[in-house]
Amino acid sequence: MKYAIIDISSSSISLLVAEGEKTFDVLLRERENISILHYMEGKNLSERGVERLGGKVGEKKGERVEKMKEICRKTGVVKCYVISTASMRNFENFEWVAEELKKRAGVNVNLLDGEREAYCDLVSNERYKTLDRAFLVDIGGGSIEICDLTRDGPDALTYLDFGPIQLNGKFVKNIHPDEKEAKEIKKYVKKTLKKTSLPDKGRFATAVLVGATNRAVYDVYLEYCDETEPAGEKLIEYDKLKKLCRHLVRSSDRSMLVLKNAPEKIYTLTTAAVILRAILKHFGVANIVVSDFGVKEGYLALAAGGEAEGELSPLDEIVAPAPAVYAEEKKKGKKSEAASDEKGKNGRKSAALPKEKNGRKSAAF
C-alpha cells in the first residue's frame, strides 16, 4: 500500500510517499518552501497565510497543500496524513486555521505535541541505537527534541519548547546573530539543558542529527568545507562545524552561503547552528551523524501499524465554499470565536501516538 505524509512546518510543506506495510520503500520526497512566519499577525496566522497554504475562498485549486495532494493522486497514494508540529502549536488561532484548511484544501491537520514529535523521531531512527552511547537531536523552528538512545521509556524523551524562531526574537536584532548575541544564545541553551533530567557530560559519545533544520545545516556545512555528499553515512567533523559557526556569525558573505544552500532557512539557520554547537559542547560529543529520517517517517510507521489515531485526509479534489457563503459563515462564526479560542488553548486535538511499550515498532526504510 502507498502512504503519504504531508508535513506543514514553519518554513515549508514537505511530502513523503512510501510503499509497504511493516517496512517501507521511499518512492519520493517533495518540498515547497514557504515561510509562514511572514504571514503572522501577532501570534495568529493571517488570512493571507491560510491562502498561501490552502488557497483562496471559492477557488477549485488550492496552493501548496493542493500541489502535494495532486502528487499523491498521480502516484497512487491510498492513505494520506497531514501533520504539523511546533509551527502550528504556536498559533493562537490554530482551530480556525485547521478548519479553514479543511474547507479550502480538504485536509485534516493532525497536530503533534512535543512528546509525540520526539517519539516519532525515535521510532524512525532506532537503528542508531547500535552506535556508541548515542542520542538524537531535532532542532525544529519552534521546538527541540532530544532522545536518549541508551534508555527506554518516557524518560528517554526530552522536549524543549523553544527553537531558532523564539531565540531570534529574544536575542537577535538582524537576520544573523552577531558574536555577542551568539554568546547569549549559547548561555541560554546551556542553562536550559542544566534544568532538564538529561545526563551530564560524558554520558553520550555520538550525536544523531534529525530533521530539516539539521539537514540544512549539513548542506551548508558541505558547501563551506567544499565537500560532496557521500554515498554512505553522512558525518560532520566537530572542529569543522565550529569553524562554520564562527563564519556564520562573523563573515560578511554568510547570507550568500545560506541562500545558495538552504534559502528557506535564511532567517533561522545561523541561530540553529549556534544552538547545535551549544548542545554538542554541553554533552562533550564530537562524533556526529546526520540522519535522513525524522518525524514523517516515524509517524508513517506508527500510522501504518495502527498505533497512531490520526485522521486521514481524502485525496479527491475539493471546491472551497463560494465567497458569499464563506462570508456568511465567517459572520456567524464571530459569535463563538472566544469559545473556540479557549477550546484551542485547552483542548487541541493531537495525533494520539502510543504509550511506551517493551517492543517498539520501527520502520525499515
Q: For residue 321, name the pLDDT band (cuts at 50, 70, 90).
A: low
Render pLDDT for 333-355 as a digit per residue (tens, 0 to 9). Answer: 444 444 444 444 444 444 444 44
The least confident of 14-18, 73-77, 248-252, 312-316 is 312-316
Instruction: Give the span between the Cα atoms of 4 and 30, in whole angstroms.
Output: 11
Is the Cα dihedral 207, 209, 210, 213 positive or negative? Answer: positive
Per-chain mean pLDDT for the chain: 86
Q: For residue 141, name the pLDDT band (cuts at 50, 70, 90).
A: confident
Nearest CA to 35 out of 94, 87, 100, 111 is that of 87
Q: By the 8 A CB rule, do 213 and 139 touch? A: yes
Render pLDDT for 273-319 as a digit per residue (tens, 0 to 9). Answer: 999 999 999 999 999 999 999 999 999 999 988 888 789 999 986 54
Is the Cα dihedral 235, 241, 245, 251 positive or negative? Answer: negative
More confident residue, 86 or 150: 150
Instruction: Give the span between the Cα atoms of 179 and 246, in whole angstroms.
Output: 8
Locate 129 and state its grid cell.
541505537
Residue 75 pLDDT more than 80? Answer: yes
Tell me the whole-structure pTM to 2 decimals.
Answer: 0.82
Taking residue 279's Cβ as centre, other Cβ atoms within 10 Å add up to 23
